[in-house]
Amino acid sequence: MIHSAAEGINTVLATVALTLGFGALVAGSPYEDIPEQDLPPVVASLMPADDARIDAVTVARWIRDRKPGLRLVDLRPAEDFEHFHIPTASNIPLEELGSHGISDQGMTVLYGADEEQTMRGVFILKALGAGSVYYLGDGVGLWLTQIINPTLYQQPTFEEQLQFEVQLEIAAYFGGLARTNVPRSEGYGESAEQGLERTMRRGCAF
Partner 1 sequence: MNAPWLGLGTLSVDQGLTLALLIGVGFGWFLERGGLGNARKLAGQFYLTDLTVLKVMFSAIITAMLGLFWLSKLGYVDLTLIYLPPTFLAPQLVGGLVFGFGFVMGGLCPGTSCVAAASGRIDGMMLLVGMLFGVFIFNEIYPLFTEFYASTPLGQVTLAEQFDLSHGLLVFAIVAMGLGAFVMAEYLENRNRN
Residue 21 CB neighbour total at 10 angstroms: 9
Beta strands in the chain (DSSP E): 53-54, 70-74, 90-91, 107-111, 133-136, 151-153, 179-182
CA distance 147 to 167: 6
Kindly calculate the radius of gyration of the chain based on its CA atoms and give it in whole angstroms.
Answer: 24
Q: Is 5 in the site for partner 1 (CB under 8 A)?
A: no
| H helix or E strand, kind and range, residue 93 | none
Size of the site for partner 1 (CB under 8 A): 23
- Which among 23-31, 35-43, 121-129, 134-142 is the span making contact with partner 1, rule CB under 8 A? 23-31
- Which among 17-25, 34-42, 67-75, 163-171 is the span making contact with partner 1, rule CB under 8 A? 17-25
Measured CA distances, 117 to 14, 93, 95, 167 (Å): 50, 10, 10, 25
CB of 158 to partner 1, least distance (A): 4
Q: Between residue 161 and residue 200, which ones bind partner 1 under the rule CB under 8 A? A: 161, 189
CA distance 81 to 112: 10
**Residue with smaller CB distance to partner 1, 7 or 197:** 7
Q: Looking at this protein, which amino acid is placed at residue 71?
A: R
CB of 98 to partner 1, least distance (A): 30
Q: Is 26 in the site for partner 1 (CB under 8 A)?
A: yes
CB of 191 to partner 1, least distance (A): 14
Among the listed residues 6, 9, 12, 27, the single contact to partner 1 using CB under 8 A: 27
Q: Is 30 in the site for partner 1 (CB under 8 A)?
A: yes
CA distance 15 to 3: 18
The helices-and-strands tally (H runs, E runs) of the chain is 10, 7
- Which among 12-20, 47-55, 88-96, 170-178 is the span making contact with partner 1, rule CB under 8 A? 12-20
Q: Is 34 in the site for partner 1 (CB under 8 A)?
A: no
Q: Between residue 104 and residue 163, which ones bind partner 1 under the rule CB under 8 A? A: 155-159, 161
Q: Looking at this protein, which amino acid is placed at residue 92?
A: I
Which residues sit at the interface with partner 1, rule CB under 8 A? 10, 14, 17-18, 20-31, 155-159, 161, 189
